[in-house]
Structures are given as C-alpha cells and as structure tokens.
Amino acid sequence: MRTPHLLIAMSVFVAGVFGYAALAPSPEKDRAAQTVADGTTVPPSAGASASAAPTVYDVGHLVDPSRDYFGTAISGAPQDMSRVDAFAKRVGKKPNMITIYESFDDDFAAAEVRDIYQYGALPIVRWEPFKQGLGDIAAGRFDEYLTEFATAVRTLNVPIALTVAHEMNGHWYPWGTRKNQPRDFVAAWRHIHQIFEQVGATNVIWTWTPNVINYLPGVALKPYWPGDRYVDWVGVDGYFTQSGIKHFTELFRPTLNEIKRFTAKPVLIVETGSEPGSMRATAVKELLTEVAKSKEIIGFVYFNARGSGDWVLDNDPKALRVFRTHPDRDDFSFAVK
C-alpha cells in the first residue's frame, strides 16, 4: 500500500520542482528588472549573482575626449526635452552636454539626468548652496543630505559633470567673497568630494568653476584651488556683452593664463553667451574657432536663456547661420555613451 503512495508523492515533488524552474525568473531577467527599476546597469562581470553591485561607470573617456563638447542650458529643459530638440534643429547641431541646476537642499534629479544621458549628452549638474554656509558644509552639518545625494548619484550610475558653488570668486552669490574666504570653499569642496568617494560615486567629473577674472581685480584663483586630486576639469564662466568684453581672447585668456600657473587640468567653458546685436554672430564664430583649435579647452556650453542678460539666440539668423555653417562644426560631434 505504501509504494503507490510513495510513487505518487515523488511524482508530485518532481513536477513541482520542474514547474518552479520553468516559471522562476532567470538571473538575466532579474538584472533587466533592476535596470528598469533604478536605472543601473549590471555588467557582465557581475555574473549571475543578484546581490553583486553594478560596476561604477568609468568616466575616463569623457574626461579626456577625442573631440570637443558642445552643450547648452535651456529654460524648461531637461524637464521638456523637446526644447533641446528644437534648439538642436535651429543650430544644426545636437548638443552633447545639457545643464541642470539644483539647490543644495534638492533631491538628486535622477529622472532628468537619466533623460539627458539617454539623449546622448553628458549631464552638467550645477549644485548651488544658497542657504547652507560653506563652513557648515565643511564641518559636516549636512552630511546626511550629502550622503543621500551622493548615493543617489551612484545608484543611477550614469556620468555627470558636477560643479559646486560655481563663480565662488565673485561677490554676487551667498557662497562668494562677501561672506566666505577661499579656505572655506576649499574645505567644503574637499569634504563633499570625500563623501562621494566614501559611497563609491566615482561616476562624477568634478568641475571646479570660477568666473572669468576680468571684472574681479585682486581676487586670486589659486587660493580657491582644492588640488588636482579633487578636480577633473577646470570650468570657466564668462559672457560677451555690449558694454563689456566682445571677443574671445580678451574674455577668456587672462583667466586661462592664471589657471595654467597651478594646474594643467582640461578646461571646459561651462557657461557662456552673448547679448544681442552684431557682436553675437562674431562671438559664436570665435567660440567655435578658438575651442576647436585649443589643446587645453575641451568644449563650451551656450546659455540659451534669459538671466542677467538676453542670451537667447533663437531668433538671431546671423548667429544661427554661423553654427550651421562653421568649418569646425564637425569637431563638436560625438555622442556621450
């Protein structure tokens, strides 16, 4: 009597095992689900282990690119990427950098950053501590927030160029010269960098970004330098204006010469633009020409928005024609992957 029951039980057990094997998700499907859920990518080297951490995105090829970057900052983007598409159509060139601005108490804008990367561009995150003192940041009073932000950057696992407290050598921001000393900036920068290292967020291109020095006599840049270990790119912000400087060499060369005295890191013009008028087409032409021929400058980002001035070139046919016909335009063609 026992034998038939035993055979039946064994048959049910075997069927259950094979049924589970057929229905259970494979490790590959598990990894695909993880990618969809959090934006990370588990590399082949991680094997079949669902608990293996994904390899951190290696930014090396982006730090030293074979061609130059052409980026833009546009009001309403990247939340509405159709604005970037419209800009690309007007200038005849798809940007491979797009800027996003975040306050120091914002959550990391993972969705927007992912959209920029999927577009084929490098996200530039400009992180602005409007309400948080540099001294307090350096002292660790915002470490919980910094750790959460850095962890979110690591989890998304796409490359970003990060500027922190840009234009710190100017007096117009609360983190600038009116309330802070260079040592405050350096201490805050190094502390933030250390926290990113601790959580493994090495998918960041650290972009130290002063304003051009032309209008800031007596403010040396070297005291603000955190050191080569803490910086990947030197960023520079500078604008062409009707009442001020109208040509590339005059606008950027004094700053570049001063920077060369203490570092040889690659230079990115992180923010630039031109006021309207006949000078705008010339400014665009000089930007494309000078950056293409420079060995130290790896690209520029055009601020196509209204801020301290009207930098929008959407309705400037002469400036747009320069973009579409410039002989060096192909030097700015590559997708970020």
- What positions carry a catalytic annotation? 167, 271
Contact at 8 Å (CB) between 160 and 204?
Answer: yes
Report the SS3 class of residue 114: helix
Dmax (CA) of the chain: 104
- 260 CB contacts (<8 Å, ≥6 apart)? 296
DSSP structure class, residue 168: T
**Cα(259)–Cα(252) distance, integer angstroms:** 11
Q: Whose CA is closest to 77, among 122, 116, 43, 40?
A: 116
Q: At what angle do helices 317-325 and 278-293 cross, to 10 degrees?
A: 20
Q: Which residues pair with 299 in a beta bridge?
A: 69
Residue 337, Cβ neighbours under 10 Å: how many? 8
Amino acid at 173: Y
**DSSP track, 53-85:** PPPPP--HHHHS-SS-EEEEEETTTTTSTHHHH
Look up residue 1 and give its two tokens: 């009597």
Contact at 8 Å (CB) between 147 and 195?
Answer: yes
Look up residue 204 and give its two tokens: 């960041």
Look up residue 39 and give its two tokens: 């934006």
Chain-centroid distance, C-alpha 87: 19
Q: Whose CA is closest to 268, among 336, 330, 205, 325?
A: 205
**Cα(281)–Cα(284) distance, integer angstroms:** 5
**Cα(268)–Cα(249) distance, integer angstroms:** 15
